[in-house]
Amino acid sequence: MPARISSEPTPATAPIVEATELTRVFGPRQAVAGVSFSLAAGECLAVFGPNGAGKTTMLRVLAGLLKPTSGTARVSGIELPGGALARSRVGLISHHTMLYEALSPRENVAFAARLYGIRDAGARVDDALRRMAMLDRANASVRSLSRGMQQRVSIARAMVHSPQLVLADEPYSGLDDAGARALTALLQELRSAGTAIIIVTHNIVEGLSLATRAAVMQAGRFIRQDTADRIDASTYAAAYREALAASG
Amino acid sequence: MLLNARTDTEVKLPLLPSIAGLSVAGAVARAAFFTPLEARQGAAQKIFYIHVPAAWVAFMAFFLVAIASGVYLWLRDHRLDQFAESSAEVGVIFTTVVLITGPLWARPIWGTWWAWWDVRLVSTLFLWFIYVSYIVLRGAVESPGLRARYSAILGILGALLIPFIHLSVYLFSTMHPMPIVGKPSKPSLPSEMLVTLLLSLGAFTLLYFAFVRSRYRYAVERDAAAAGAPSYA
Amino acid sequence: MAEILFTAWLIARKDLTIEFRTRSAFFSAVVFALLALVIFYYAWDPTAVTPTDLAPGIMWVIFTFSGLLGLHRSFGVEAADHAIDGLLASPVSRESIFLGKAIANLIFVAAVQVIAIPALVLFYNVPLGGIAGPLVAIAILAAIGLVTVGTLFSAMAVNTRLAELLLPMLALPFFVPVVMAAAQATAKLLSGRPLIEAAAWIKLLLAFDIVFVAACSLAFPFTVED
């Protein structure tokens, strides 16, 4: 399917990612049931919700792994499914590391860089590894690393091509304190540089510290969506607990 | 499977399966008692009236599986997948009938149970392999969407394989002529035999539709029940 | 087009690097092939059938089963930590993923055959004479057919229960025309018949390759995307 790309470069205030009644069904089951939001450059949306709410499915649609069933979604102005161009603008972090265990961190990140079309990626690979504090173990095999270190490499891998949109699905899972600090610093740096971020997490405090917007998702819908100035950690925690109770 | 136990109707004999069943019984009876013996082959030739129609239905069923598979990948309508699943399970039964009646016919006529040079018999064997792979594949995939896509791919590729099997065995048979006792050439059928064959063909086709319809209903009910159960995303 | 080839080679090289690091699948396939040669030899009475006559059939049967050993790891490496998601979320086209995997598998199969075929020639006293060239051509065509179908089915099998059993079951019916054509052509060549008599089988192999490379490349995106 050809991607429709806006003819002008994305202006500073145009949304990096937007969704209008985005829906994804699997047979009779509505995993994502009409989600709408909009994120401009430098904004961060934190999404909370119980297991099975559709958060991962929503991220997989935005990452180009699944096609939307109905509704619209745009990444960098490209309507999904947007093919290679849309995917090139996105970086995906998951709680699966998506790494090749027999290769080293450097080889994994370099392979990813080449997949995204970066030639002579050496410096960028080193930079990505350094920012996640993995440069000193860059040549060991991934198999020999702890879970936390593997997650750090996975994050470096997702960032090496300087995506405009970062989709982070439980990125803190497996990270130790040092790794978590490195990740938070990295995400904040990206936000200042204009990257849009959607972060799915169970850690409300951590998530809200990065967010400019927040939403609670349940049964495929955003049952609550607020901007930064109206966010309050305790009311969000309460809304999250309500959603957990409602999902049974 | 032939008698539908539907709760919304009183117990009355369902129409299609009854007609199909009677047709098959009638065709078999006609073949056995009311069709003349073939001159060279004698009584064994009567298996022909089951063997050939079963083969016709077996291949037709797979042809339909392949078509449904292709259209499913295009339209993603799960009813096409349910039909393909049904046609495959019914098709494997007819294919098994062909593979059993084949040797029963071959042994008295050709002097051997199996004939590796016979293009039709070997093609049917491979049809059977593909049917069984299809059914096992379906059983090995949990997610309905993935199962439908994988089955559809196998359905289409399987249809592409059969002509190659046909060609390979034909080539093999021309290069390695086997000594056969009295291999029958394609018979020109006298009208009585032709009529019996056609009647049998019609009866088996009706049976196919009866089976598939029943199996399709089962698939629809089963999927509806699975959807209603709580899903763990 | 160049883009697809370039990316495919990138992916193939990554797969081969991983395989080279562990080497376990390669050694298993080679040892399997050599052991099969031994077993087949002792399974027949060498006065009733000369090893030379048995050689073509055995060559291609072993080729098929040792090829299967290598195919399974092709997508296994992607399933381990959901690395396949990393590939699918990147800009690479699905066609290049298939092509890359197939190229890696082709090189793997070729590497095993580079050891297995000379071993066969040695153990079975096969008079290669002037037929080495045509034999290599047959081997390449057969390998392409095997690898194309095998790569597609391994992409599917990796997501199922009983993956190791399912892959042979799905793939072997498709390997039969390949094995038949390769073995019959090889037998013709080995018994000194002119190339023209093996031509029909070689044409069959070529037709199979063309049809199934096209069909499997078209089918592959459906196995990974929804």
Residue C145 reports pLDDT greater than 60:
yes
Rounded to the nearest 5 degrees, what angle is found at the Cα of B189, between the Cα atoms of B183 and B192?
A: 135
Q: Are strands A90-93 and A165-169 parallel, antiparallel or unpaired?
A: parallel
Whether the CB of A3 is below 8 Å from some CB of chain C: the reply is: no
Give the torsion through C-alpha atoms of B151, B153, B159, B160, to 10 deg.
-160
User: What are the residues facing A168 on neighbouring strands?
Assistant: A93, A199
Task: Say if residues B44 and B109 touch (Cβ distance below 8 Å).
Answer: yes
User: And the tokens for A113?
Assistant: 């860089």
Return phi, psi of residue B140, to 5°. Answer: -95, -5
Query: What pLDDT score was predicted for residue C45?
Result: 83
Summarised one tens digit per residue, pLDDT across range B173-207 is 887 766 554 445 555 667 777 888 888 899 899 99
**Which region, left, alpha or beta, applies to residue B42 given φ > 0 means left and ψ of -120 to 50 means alpha?**
left
C20 touches chain A (CB under 8 A): no
- C223 in contact with B at a CB cutoff of 8 Å? yes
Give B35-80 pLDDT, tens digit per residue: 777 667 677 777 888 899 999 999 999 999 999 999 999 998 999 9
A162-166, A205-209, B159-163, B221-225: least confidently modelled range: A205-209
Put simply, the answer to whether C82 touches A101 (Cβ < 8 Å) is no
Instruction: Tell if the CB–CB gap between A111 and C14 is shorter than 8 Å.
Output: yes
Residues of A in contact with B144 (CB under 8 A): 26-27
Chain-wide mean pLDDT for chain C? 91
Among A residues 53-92, those touching chain B with beta carbons less than 8 Å apart = 53-54, 56-57
Q: Give the tens place of pLDDT for each residue, B109-121.
A: 888 899 888 899 9
**What stretches of chain A adopt beta strand conformation (E)?**
15-26, 29-40, 44-48, 70-75, 78-79, 90-93, 165-169, 196-200, 213-218, 221-227
Confidence (pLDDT) at A233: 67
Please state the separation of Cα A9 from the chain's center in Å: 23
User: What is the pLDDT, as a whole number, of residue A177?
Assistant: 87
Q: Which chain C residues are within 8 Å of B150, Cβ to Cβ?
A: 156, 160, 223
Which chain B residues are Cβ-neighbours of A54 within 8 angstroms? 233
Tell me, what's the pLDDT at B1?
A: 45
Decide if pLDDT at C162 tops 50: yes
Report which residue type is found at B89: E
pLDDT score, position A2: 43
The closest of A49, A42, A37, A114 to A73, measured between CA atoms, is A37
Reported as a single tens digit per residue, the pLDDT across A136-184 is: 999 999 999 999 999 999 999 999 999 999 999 999 888 888 888 889 9
Q: Does C93 touch chain A (CB under 8 A)?
A: yes
The whole-angstrom separation of Cα C47 and Cα C8 is 50
- Using 70 as the pLDDT threshold, list the residues of chain A that sit under it: 1-13, 228-233, 247-248
Q: How many CB atoms neighbour CB B29 within 10 A?
A: 11
Q: Which of B73, B156, B164 minimises the CB distance to C177?
A: B164
- Which residues of chain C are within 8 Å of residue A141 when distances are taken between CB atoms? 21
**The model's pTM:** 0.88
Three-state DSSP class for residue B2: coil
- Measured between beta carbons, the chain C residues lying within 8 angstroms of A92 are 85-86, 89
Instruction: Write the residue in A27, A52, A56 that is nearest to B227 by C-beta.
Output: A27
Q: Do A29 and B227 touch (CB under 8 A)?
A: yes
Q: Dump pLDDT digits (tens) for C187-225.
A: 888 887 777 878 999 999 999 999 999 999 999 999 987
**CA gap B75, B70 in Å, rounded:** 9
Q: Using 50, 70 and 90 to split pLDDT, how confident is the model at B230?
A: very low
pLDDT at C32: 93
Give chain B's radius of gyration (CA, Å).
20
Three-class SS state of C113: helix
Touching subunits for chain B (3+ Cβ pairs under 8 A)? A, C
**B231: chain A residues, CB-CB within 8 Å:** 29, 52
Q: Within an 8 Å CB–CB cutoff, is residue A63 touching chain C?
A: yes
Angle at which helices C24-43 and C94-124 cross, to 10°:
40
pLDDT (mean) for C114-126 = 91
d(C-alpha B137, C-alpha B150), whole Å: 8
